[in-house]
Amino acid sequence: MEHSGEVALVTGANKGIGREIARRLAAEGMTVYVGSRDPERGAQAVAELKAENADVRFVQLDVTDERQARAAARTIEEEHGRLDVLVNNAGIVGSWGLTVEDVTGDDVRGVFDVNVLGVITVTQACIPLLLRSPAGRIVNLSSPLGSLTVLSDPTHPIAGAGLVAYSASKAALNAVTLLYANHLRATGIRVNSANPGLVATDLNIDSPRSRGNRTPADGAEVPVALALLGPDGPTGTFRGGDGTSAEETVPW
């Protein structure tokens, strides 16, 4: 396998899209660290994936906890000495059903802690390991709900969704993606945002709108494709038009 022997870390990988990403990367021959805030659920996910002959390992990782992020990086360093792929999958929506005028700073702060600051915390801890890879890749799971181009069109359904905390966090995450891509471009590390599409997961189980009809396997397609990029692959892009193809871009 082309990616056999590579090492990956996937955050929020005990369920949903993250678990499927971990499974798919392991099927490519990678050793995959399953990051999970909940040790019991993380261990269960690892046991189930190991039953499929996947080389997966659990690391406790609350992305908002800098100590846990650094501990996870140390574990990977001690066991492998490098990291080839980081998939920042962990994310939350916040409260469903709030109108724009009802959203408080605390509502937004909690979502930013996970979706933006958590990504920065984990990425910062892992960059030294990614620099040791011949072709490091970072994939940040984003959403068209964070597209300023889409949000600026008042006729677009997304513009009327009113998810202030989530949309703002994903817009900020896209800026983080571009900043890291620009900073790391000369090192060869590829950094991209991925749109998994509207997948029916626990993330949107309480959505008053459609939960979507895409499966976690469908949602893993674009982030996995970006995780498998070669050294000549794109960087600083937002991929996954309708969440279906890594060849299609989403407007920033």
Catalytic residues: 166
User: What's the per-residue H, E or C state across the chain?
Assistant: CCCCCCEEEECCCCCHHHHHHHHHHHHCCCEEEEEECCHHHHHHHHHHHHCCCCCEEEEECCCCCHHHHHHHHHHHHHHHCCCCEEEECCCCCCCCCCCHHHCCHHHHHHHHHHHHHHHHHHHHHHHHHHCCCCCCEEEEECCHHHCHHHHCCCCCHHHHCCCHHHHHHHHHHHHHHHHHHHHHHHHCCEEEEECCCCECCHHHCCCCCCCCCECHHHHHHHHHHHHCCCCCCCCCCEECHHHCCCCCECCC
